[in-house]
């Protein structure tokens, strides 16, 4: 039996993208639970609150993060998340998912130790499946 991800997290303000990815995850049964935050601030608040109560069942194994968002963008989220990431007992894999094809953004994301990879929107179903299988 193939190992699956229990919980994933999407941090993105693009509701069309979020609904599309949710549908793909649901249809392909890529994980059991999905958290969605509309900006980096809500996302980092969730992870910082988890540090006070490390319930392993509510820690996502994978984060799909947009970089261009209001309130707190993906770069600031990564900066703050990187400082707390090692405090979790579970490994959390972070992928940047953006519509930006700017090489500076792509190279910056790939150079950060906390980022596994950079995916360009729209994400292909096969690429999304591969990300979830690789992380499981």
108-113 average pLDDT score: 91
Q: What percent of the chain has pLDDT over 70?
A: 99
pLDDT at 2: 66
pTM, full prediction:
0.92
Per-residue pLDDT tens for 37-61? Answer: 999 999 999 999 998 887 777 899 9
Question: Which tokens hold the place of 54?
Answer: 């490390």
Per-residue pLDDT tens for 61-94? Answer: 999 999 999 999 999 999 999 999 989 888 899 9
Q: Which of 40-44, 95-99, 113-117 is predicted least confidently?
A: 113-117
* Residues 105 and 98: beta-carbon distance below 8 Å: yes
Round to whole Å and give the CA distance between 112 and 84: 15
* Residues 90 and 58: beta-carbon distance below 8 Å: no
């Amino acid at each position: 039996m193939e190992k699956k991800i229990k919980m994933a997290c999407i941090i993105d303000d693009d509701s069309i993208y979020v609904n599309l990815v949710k549908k793909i995850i649901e249809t392909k049964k890529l994980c059991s639970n999905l958290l969605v935050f509309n900006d980096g601030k809500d996302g980092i608040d969730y992870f910082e609150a988890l540090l006070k109560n490390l319930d392993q069942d509510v820690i996502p194994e994978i984060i799909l993060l947009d970089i261009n968002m209001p309130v707190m963008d993906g770069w600031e989220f990564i900066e703050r998340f990187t400082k707390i990431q090692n405090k979790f007992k579970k490994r959390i894999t972070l992928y940047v998912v953006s519509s930006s094809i700017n090489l500076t953004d792509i190279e910056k994301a790939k150079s950060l130790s906390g980022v596994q990879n950079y995916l360009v929107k729209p994400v292909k179903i096969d690429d999304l499946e591969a990300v979830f299988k690789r992380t499981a």
